[in-house]
Amino acid sequence: MQLSSTLPFSQASENNKLPILEILRPHLTEVHSVLEIGSGTGQHGEFFVDQFPALNWNCSDIPSNISLTNQRITARGLANFPEAIALDVNEPIWNCGFHDCVFSANSLHIMSEISVTSFFRGLYQCLTKNGLLFLYGPFKYGGEFTTESNAHFDDWLKQKDPLSGIRDFETIMKLATDAGLMFLEDNPMPANNQLLLFKLL
């Protein structure tokens, strides 16, 4: 993340928000409230509430990142884009309320494997029955990276934090199934990313 003008800014979020919108658009017309896990700069929420003024978008992040996420939220001052919730997926209790959609972008490869497991184990605390889960980011399939650049990205991530890394699609499927989620879509996205969609049964 870098600072652009006065607000925290991620160029990746700026690049991927439109392609993500195209996938989310038909679903978000039906959704009332989104919980975003690992919101970072808050750019996705800001963009999606502008597109869907009737949608409530609830950002969250780990406690040490909350003030960063709240900078953009405070600057906008929108009723449907409230202050971010402090949420570390490793905590046993998520004080997150219930939502009919959970969205998370570029977070699973930053989290450790244990945190990714906690992510799926905790979802029941915030996602309503028939609620949707969108996961954006890079994944491996059959243990293979989809591209050489994703392999380099994985090396780079692990140099910064050996516990991080691009996750196996099959592992995500298993964790999702164990959490009571039904797999609906795997959408290929620009820059070697995917947008996965699940529904809570």
- Listing DSSP states for 2-34 in one string gives EEETTEEE-HHHHHHHHHHHHHHHHHHTT-SEE
User: Distance between CA atoms of 2 and 11, rounded to whole angstroms?
Assistant: 8
For position 164 contacting ligand SAM by CB under 6 A, the verdict is: no
Per CB under 6 A, the segment of 8-16, 23-31, 154-162, 178-186 that binds ligand SAM is 8-16
Per CB under 6 A, the segment of 25-33, 39-47, 153-161, 182-190 that binds ligand SAM is 39-47
Q: Measured from the CB of residue 146, what is the shortest distance to ligand SAM in angstroms?
A: 18
Q: Measured from the CB of residue 139, what is the shortest distance to ligand SAM in angstroms?
A: 15
Helices and strands per DSSP (H, E), number in the chain: 6, 13
**Which residue stretches of 37-168 are H helix?**
43-51, 66-76, 113-122, 148-160
- Per-residue x/- marks for ligand SAM, 79-108, CB under 6 A? --------xxxx--------------xxx-
Question: What residue has token string 């991620």?
Answer: 10
For position 62 contacting ligand SAM by CB under 6 A, the verdict is: yes
Footprint of ligand SAM on residues 122-151 (CB under 6 A)?
A: none
For position 61 contacting ligand SAM by CB under 6 A, the verdict is: yes
For position 34 contacting ligand SAM by CB under 6 A, the verdict is: no
Per CB under 6 A, the segment of 31-39, 72-80, 166-174, 189-197 that binds ligand SAM is 31-39
User: Distance between CA atoms of 197 and 181, rounded to whole angstroms?
Assistant: 10
Give Cα 15 distance to the centre of its chain. 15
CB atoms < 10 A from the CB of 148, how many? Answer: 9
3-state secondary structure of 200: strand
Q: Which two tokens stand for residue 189?
A: 């996205």
* Binding positions for ligand SAM, rule: CB under 6 A: 10, 12-13, 37-41, 61-62, 65, 87-90, 105-107, 110-111, 115
